[in-house]
């Protein structure tokens, strides 16, 4: 709440300064802020004032802020820019940021942006755009520091000073041969701690972890978490260095993939736009398919209940326990599937662990089922003392234990089976598992009831 109050106060302050045309004070105010915070603030400003405030920003800060802004605001600014202003902003962008912006813009805006890029940057942009959307090549930047193995530390620093100003990162420098093949890397820390006459070949790291241009970008992003990288080299099939992926792009990928998984787990088709900017019709379209499938599949449960009409005709109170049993089973399955899906996403679990998972989930289910059955028995003796509580306790207790075991088994196994079938494990999340468990729980419930009734309990 405090952050929102500060943002409101800052917005009011900026608007007041703008009304009194105190542009110098606004510039000082912005200079002390981070680009992401400025972008958030500009997002709260009236659209008519946005171009005026953006023009107040220093050139380099303006480009950094532009990258952090929403695509709609970026398009508004581009349309408001003069040719010179657009050239100044584009000139300060890193290649990967320019690619991200271009991918979000309509064709007429893209043409205008490309018109203000130099030939080298345009070629780099086109090279990245030709890679598949989910590949490492699509998120890499071609702006990296390249050194030669026979350079001295002094020569390396000269090269970094000469070329580093336009690079996205200079902390990690990559060593290539005459054919641009990656043969090593060296950090600025190692260079600083080495004598100036030291040859790069003697201090560079030769055991290099790299990725290929067509590798899945989610796997690439997970490598940053595993190895604590700041950047990761991207090579082609001949091991030629073509670019690097930096940690900020990896974070974006992880956030994007997590959002997509959450949407799938909620029985939604993934959408790229934000919630508020997605039209009502598109929201409905992305939700209706799964809802139709789940609604129609529920008719199976209804048909099963009809087949056991004799059981609940003899003891109508049984019907009152169906929602409790179905909800408990669905929730248990959702708990297990959530843990397994997350474990698969973090590479903490692999498909070969399926037997370990089944064994563990069975033990968890037995413990959980016994506790739930015990509490439910106590509830029945309190609430249904005049309705044959022994029979009800036996039926619901056994049904709960069996349902929980099946639910947790399904929740643990189905995501792994999806992974083995090259499907997204998030598809096997709560809505689908709940539907399957609902059907199983009803069958279990009435069969146990009929079995116990046949014993005359």
Distances (CA, A) of 87 to 42, 117, 383: 21, 7, 75
Looking at domain 2-130, which of 1.10.3720.10, 3.40.50.920, 1.10.10.10, 1.25.60.10 is its CATH number?
1.25.60.10
Question: What pLDDT sits at residue 184?
Answer: 94
Question: What pLDDT sits at residue 228?
Answer: 86
Question: What pLDDT sits at residue 3?
Answer: 46
Strand-by-strand arrangement of the 182-187 sheet: 146-147, 172-176, 182-187
Euclidean distance between CA atoms 31 and 2, whole angstroms: 22
Question: What pLDDT sits at residue 4?
Answer: 46
For 139-177, write each residue's pLDDT tens digit. 998 889 999 999 999 999 999 999 888 788 889 999 999
CA atoms within 13 A on the CB side of 233: 26
Euclidean distance between CA atoms 317 and 386, whole angstroms: 11
Element (H, E) at 39: helix 35-42
Question: What pLDDT sits at residue 145?
Answer: 93
Q: Which residues of 27-60 are buried (b: 16+ CB within 10 A; e: fewer)?
A: eebbeebebebbbbbbeebeeeebeebbebbeee
8 Å CB contact between 270 and 260: yes
Parts of the chain with a pLDDT under 70: 1-5, 264-270, 272, 275, 309-315, 428-431, 456-457
Residues ≥6 apart with Cβ < 8 Å to 220: 136, 139, 211, 232, 245, 250, 253
Looking at domain 146-247, which of 1.10.1060.10, 3.10.450.50, 1.50.10.20, 3.10.580.10 is its CATH number?
3.10.580.10
Question: What pLDDT sits at residue 265?
Answer: 66
Q: Where are the domains of the chain?
A: 2-130, 146-247, 280-454
Question: What pLDDT sits at residue 280?
Answer: 83
**Among 93, 136, 86, residue whose Cα is nearest residue 111:** 86
- Residue whose entry in the numeric block shows the structure tokens 């289910």: 365
Where does residue 229 fall: left (phi above 0), alpha (psi -120 to 50 degrees), or beta otherwise? beta
Residues ≥6 apart with Cβ < 8 Å to 5: none
Q: Which residues of 153-169 are buried (b: 16+ CB within 10 A; e: fewer)?
A: bebbbebbeeebeebbb
- Residue whose entry in the numeric block shows the structure tokens 């005359």: 456
Question: What pLDDT sits at residue 449?
Answer: 85
Question: Any idea which architecture 280-454 has in CATH?
Answer: Orthogonal Bundle (1.10)
């Amino acid at each position: 709440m405090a952050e929102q109050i500060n943002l409101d106060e800052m917005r009011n302050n900026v608007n007041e300064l703008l009304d009194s045309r105190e542009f110098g004070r606004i510039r000082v105010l912005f200079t002390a802020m981070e680009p992401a915070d400025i972008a958030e603030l500009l997002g709260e400003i009236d659209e008519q004032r946005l171009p005026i405030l953006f023009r107040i920003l220093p050139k380099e800060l303006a480009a950094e802020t532009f990258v952090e802004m929403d695509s709609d605001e970026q398009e508004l600014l581009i349309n408001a820019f003069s040719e010179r202003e657009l050239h100044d902003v584009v000139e300060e962008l890193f290649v990967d940021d320019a690619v991200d912006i271009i991918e979000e813009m309509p064709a007429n805006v893209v043409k205008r942006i490309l018109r203000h890029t130099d030939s080298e940057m345009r070629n780099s942009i086109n090279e990245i755009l030709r890679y598949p959307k989910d590949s490492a090549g699509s998120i890499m930047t071609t702006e990296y520091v390249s050194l030669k193995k026979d350079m001295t530390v002094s020569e390396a620093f000269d090269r970094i000073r000469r070329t580093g100003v336009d690079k996205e990162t200079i902390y990690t420098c990559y060593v290539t041969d005459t054919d641009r093949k990656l043969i090593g890397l060296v950090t600025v820390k190692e260079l600083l701690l080495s004598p100036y006459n030291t040859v790069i070949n003697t201090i560079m790291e030769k055991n290099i972890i790299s990725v290929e241009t067509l590798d899945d970008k989610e796997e690439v992003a997970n490598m940053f978490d595993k190895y604590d990288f700041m950047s990761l080299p991207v090579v082609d099939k001949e091991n030629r260095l073509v670019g690097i992926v930096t940690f900020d792009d990896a974070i974006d990928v992880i956030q994007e993939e997590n959002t997509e998984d959450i949407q799938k787990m909620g029985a939604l088709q993934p959408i790229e736009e934000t919630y508020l900017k997605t039209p009502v019709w598109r929201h409905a379209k992305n939700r209706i398919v799964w809802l139709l499938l789940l609604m129609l599949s529920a008719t199976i449960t209804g048909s099963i209940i009809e087949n056991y009409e004799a059981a609940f005709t003899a003891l109508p109170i049984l019907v009152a326990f169906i929602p409790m049993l179905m909800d408990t089973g669905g929730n248990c399955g959702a708990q297990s599937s959530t843990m397994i899906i997350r474990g698969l996403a973090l590479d903490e679990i692999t498909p070969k662990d399926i037997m370990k998972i089944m064994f563990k989930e069975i033990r968890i289910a037995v413990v959980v089922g016994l506790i739930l059955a015990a509490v439910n028995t106590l509830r029945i003796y309190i609430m249904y003392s005049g309705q044959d509580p022994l029979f009800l306790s036996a039926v619901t207790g056994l049904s709960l234990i069996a349902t929980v075991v099946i639910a947790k088994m399904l929740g643990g196994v189905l995501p792994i089976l999806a992974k083995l079938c090259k499907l997204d494990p998030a598809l096997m999340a709560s809505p689908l598992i709940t539907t399957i468990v609902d059907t199983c729980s009803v069958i279990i419930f009435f069969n146990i009831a009929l079995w116990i009734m046949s014993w005359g309990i």
